[in-house]
Chains A and B, each alone.
Chain A
């Protein structure tokens, strides 16, 4: 059974600081996603990582994937308040490239304080 674990689950940090969220998964998968969710809202796709060593960056967020270690990281650089949200990683359940659904982590609730 595919399991996805994120840590930390809660993170409070100051603006301007850097931090990393970790996502471990238990079985081989061919696709990993990072999503952002604001309170009461749906999921916004941030990154799709397809291969070992993949690195993607968007603004202050950078995601990477190590398929051998079954580990992905989401790094936040010089955090700003607008990045406060819950971040989920999700892994495709099969080999269908996500077309057969995703298994999500519990999420990291991130609060960035001035």
Chain B
């Protein structure tokens, strides 16, 4: 596609509910990143993939967060048993190797 596509754009979840956020990277981009951006803050690194391999998940805030990219293209970020502090915008970015990363529009998650 023309750019990084994320869905849904907005998600409201009840506390304790599981959610799944999808990222479609730019075709051919081998690297894929997830970031969490709290209101009024800069994005914070969560995890990154090179093709299907998750090379770094050190930024995932708890074991309730899980990301996968099984075929090296589309990625899903799953959050189990959502808490209010999980409310944020989740940004996905992709890049070709060491090139510049392009960001998607993000998914705004609100946990009520």
Interface residues, chain A, CB within 8 Å of chain B? 4, 33, 41-43, 45, 48, 88, 90, 93, 96-107
Contact = CB atoms under 8 A, between A and B. Distances in A.
Interface of A is mostly: loop
A106 to B, nearest CB: 5
Interface string B17-52: 000000000000001010100001111110010100
Nearest to A88: B42
Contacts of A100: 48, 55-56
B105 A98 contact: no
A93 B31 CA distance: 14
A42 B95 contact: no
B103 A43 contact: yes
Contacts of A4: 42
Interface string B73-112: 0000000000000000001010101111111111000000
Given A100-B48, A101-B56, A104-B43, 9 more contacts: A93-B45, A98-B98, A99-B50, A100-B55, A104-B35, A104-B44, A106-B42, A107-B40, A107-B42
A59 to B, nearest CB: 19
Interface of B: 31, 33, 35, 40-45, 48, 50, 55-56, 59, 91, 93, 95, 97-106
A93 B100 CA distance: 14
Nearest to B4: A42
A99 B42 contact: no
A42 B42 contact: no
Closest 8 CB pairs of A and B: A104-B42, A97-B98, A43-B103, A101-B45, A99-B98, A42-B103, A42-B105, A101-B48
A12 B109 CA distance: 30
Contacts of A99: 31, 50, 95, 97-99
A103 B42 CA distance: 9
A88 B101 CA distance: 14
B96 to A, nearest CB: 9
